[in-house]
Amino acid sequence: MKVNGRHYRTIWTEDDAVVILDQTLFPHRFETRRLTTAEDAAEAIRVMRVRGAPLIGATAAYGLALALRADPSDMGLLAAREMLAATRPTAINLVWALDRVIARISPLPLARRASAAWDEAGRICDEDVAINATIGDHGLGLIRAVAARKRGAPVNILTHCNAGWLATVDWGTATAPIYKAHDAGIPVHVWVDETRPRNQGAFLTAWELGQHGVPHTVIVDNAGGHLMQRGQVDMVIVGTDRTTAQGDVCNKIGTYLKALAAADNGVPFYVALPTPTIDHSVRDGLAEIPIEERSPDEVRRIAGRAGDDVIEIELTPPGTPAANPAFDVTPARLVSALITERGIMAPTAEAIAALRMAP
């Protein structure tokens, strides 16, 4: 998307390096970072300089290419896959991207592996941009249908965390329909869940929407149900890190609570996802999806700006015990529809299984 008039993706290559936007500094600093080794890529994923299922996958793919430059052997490939796969366990796009690159380059002579992996990572990025734009086109129809009955008043959309262009290579998933609607002149307003503890909503979604001129309001995570009870939310659109074969949706912690509030208030709850985010090998999300447990320090502290510096401050008494599950699972029964690049569908095993057929 555009930042100060210049078009950006979240990840690109320059010479022999991979360049990313360092999201740990947002919204206070807009800085890039060069990744030149697989270890750099792993660190960027682990500490969330890059985050969001599709972008994690793209970064891991380039990480593998960087690893193959150093050691194209099968042993080297296996070690690099293990290191990158161990960074974050929940987003299925990580291992999906790694295994796609491995399948592509394994039959090749050692001397050709690194360049082929680099090209495959580039294809993954280009495909993600096209997929998300198409998700936007499909989701636009849902927003347009609500706008038709609002007589010019904005369509109020609540989103949780950041499933924006910063979570992907471009466009975002949950935000793609929002950008498309805004660009089509449909009045929209977005309720942005701050999304503790890493505040992807307050820090990233608010920044994105502000850059694009989309009206929005940051709210505390616990306000969404209150707004839905008062008819101030026309729909919820969120992203996902892994959706199962039966339509259970794993997403940022707190998503499940929004789905419950939406169901209780008759608010449509949509999940926007590229089909690589579907894990056809699991059915029961609650039982089978590994939920990342991140550092308790992320709960005990918060990042912010003091003057020109980005700092962290302590929130709790020293040594306070804290728990930090990073994701939760929303059962398919609470999901109104999935918005994919293949169209809008019910979160059912039949509809999801049909996606395995060629488009």
Ligand X SMILES: CSC[C@H]1O[C@H](OP(=O)(O)O)[C@H](O)[C@@H]1O
Which residues does the annotation place in the binding site for substrate? 51-53, 88, 200, 251-252
State yes or no: residue 54 binds ligand X (CB under 6 A): yes
Alpha helices in the chain (DSSP H): 38-46, 53-70, 74-85, 92-105, 110-147, 175-183, 206-212, 224-229, 255-265, 285-288, 297-300, 349-354
Tokens 């030149």 belong to 36
State yes or no: residue 173 binds ligand X (CB under 6 A): yes
241 catalytic residue (yes or no): yes
State yes or no: residue 251 binds ligand X (CB under 6 A): yes
Tokens of 221: 């995570």
Question: How distant is the alpha carbon of residue 64 from its chain centre?
Answer: 20
Q: Which of residues 304-323 bind ligand X (CB under 6 A)?
A: none
Closer of 147 and 166 to ligand X (Cβ): 166
Closer of 136 and 239 to ligand X (Cβ): 239
How far is 244 from 283, CA to CA, in rounded Å? Answer: 5
Stretch that binds ligand X, among 11-19, 76-84, 163-171, 213-221 (CB under 6 A): 163-171
State yes or no: residue 326 binds ligand X (CB under 6 A): yes
Tokens 């499933």 belong to 163
Q: Say if CB 126 and CB 326 are below 8 A apart.
A: no
| Per-residue x/- track, 222-241, ligand X (CB under 6 A) | ----------------xx-x
Q: Which of 193, 234, 241, 279 is catalytic?
A: 241
Helix (H, G, I), strand (E, B) or coil at 311: strand
The span from the first CA to the last CA of the chain, in angstroms, equals 27
State yes or no: residue 163 binds ligand X (CB under 6 A): yes
Closer of 261 and 271 to ligand X (Cβ): 271
Closer of 35 and 55 to ligand X (Cβ): 55
How far is 359 from 357, CA to CA, in rounded Å? Answer: 6
Binding residues, as ranges, are 51-53, 88, 200, 251-252
Distance in Å, CB of 9 to ligand X, minimum: 14
Give the pairing type, strands 343-345 and 337-340.
Answer: antiparallel
Distance in Å, CB of 52 to ligand X, minimum: 4
Stretch that binds ligand X, among 72-80, 166-174, 214-222, 309-317 (CB under 6 A): 166-174
Closer of 198 and 300 to ligand X (Cβ): 198
How far is 301 from 198, CA to CA, in rounded Å? Answer: 9
How far is 68 from 144, CA to CA, in rounded Å? Answer: 47
Angle at the Cα of 215 from the Cα atoms of 156 and 236, rounded to 5 degrees:
30
Pick from 33, 49, 51, 189 the residue near ligand X by CB under 6 A: 51
Tokens of 255: 């998503």
Distance in Å, CB of 96 to ligand X, minimum: 13
**Residue of 177, 100, 196, 94 whose CA lies nearest to 137:** 177
Distance in Å, CB of 203 to ligand X, minimum: 10
State yes or no: residue 252 binds ligand X (CB under 6 A): yes
Distance in Å, CB of 89 to ligand X, minimum: 11
Instruction: Report, in this order, helix, strand and coil percent for the chain, each rounded to 5.
Output: 45, 20, 35
Tokens of 339: 């918005």
Q: Which of residues 121-160 bind ligand X (CB under 6 A)?
A: none
State yes or no: residue 23 binds ligand X (CB under 6 A): no
Question: How distant is the alpha carbon of residue 319 from its chain centre?
Answer: 31
The footprint of ligand X (CB under 6 A) covers 51-54, 161, 163, 167-168, 173, 200, 238-239, 241, 251-252, 326
Catalytic residue positions? 241
